[in-house]
Amino acid sequence: MDSAERLRVRTEGIRYRILGCAGGENPRSQLPSFLVNDRLLVDAGATTARLSLGEQLGIDTVLLTHIHLDHVKDLAFLADNIFGLRSIPLQVCSIASVLKQFQEHLFNDILWPDFTRIPTAEAPTVQLRALPEGQPTVLGTCHVTPIRVNHLVDCVAFFIEQGGRTVLHVGDTGPTDAVWERARHVPDLRAVIVEATFPNRLQELADASGHLTPASLDGELQKLGRPVPLFVYHLKPQFAKEIEEELRALRDLAPNVLEAGKTYWF
């Protein structure tokens, strides 16, 4: 690939800035939050502490995979930070059941103010937008398609497509089927971003909590049935070294562990 082609790929590709990608939080580990092309945020576990106010104001859309706290907590602070500074509401998007749970349990005027009605219901800070399951929706420069996966609460994976390139971003999940069935038929699938939360010795805990280990991830990727670059996240920090060793043993998959603070181009 010559320098001109590299520049074209960097201009046209899907840019993923990793704000956080761990399965737990400590000073060296940040919770899942991914900034796509500067305007689209996937989950909001580590957003407001990682982005300047100007960068926060530049976000137009947030995709929620599910409402567990490690994936949504910074939406509370993001809404608070941008309040009164945007003329157009921030769109928070997912399937209808995820948004219903989000409003019932976070923006409910009990745990946090309901920014879907502040300053007014007619001109709110945040606007919830339900996406049709299994159908693409245009969000900015991307087409986004949600597919349900298997977790303790309603949860989705997102196919994010731009310019013929597609990234599959899988939310928290245990063994599942529909997303891999669809992925088998997606042309130019540039990356699969998926979790591996626990080490193999905690397989029973992973199954009970709707998560994957390296061993069960291996089984899931066999369902895909095609070689696609694999990027793994959501490792529990206390088990991260053990999980990484087990991932490296999956030689046929050649997984990459995402790193917070890095930017990836797909």
Contacts of 84 (CB under 8 A, 6+ apart): 119, 125
One digit per residue, pLDDT tens: the chain, 266 residues?
A: 444 344 344 557 999 999 999 999 999 999 999 999 999 999 999 999 999 999 999 999 999 999 999 999 999 999 999 999 999 999 999 999 999 999 999 999 999 999 999 999 999 999 999 999 999 999 999 999 999 999 999 999 999 999 999 999 999 999 999 999 999 999 999 999 999 999 999 999 999 999 999 999 999 999 999 999 999 999 999 999 999 999 999 877 789 999 999 999 99
State if pTM tops 0.75.
yes
C-alpha distance from residue 76 to each of 7, 70, 72, 114, 115 (Å) = 37, 12, 8, 9, 9
C-alpha distance from residue 174 to each of 139, 184, 219 (Å) = 28, 19, 11
Residue 74 sits in a domain whose CATH number is 3.60.15.10
Q: Among residues 64, 59, 113, which one has the least CA distance to residue 86? A: 59
* Domains of the chain: total: 1
Residue 226: domain span:
3-265
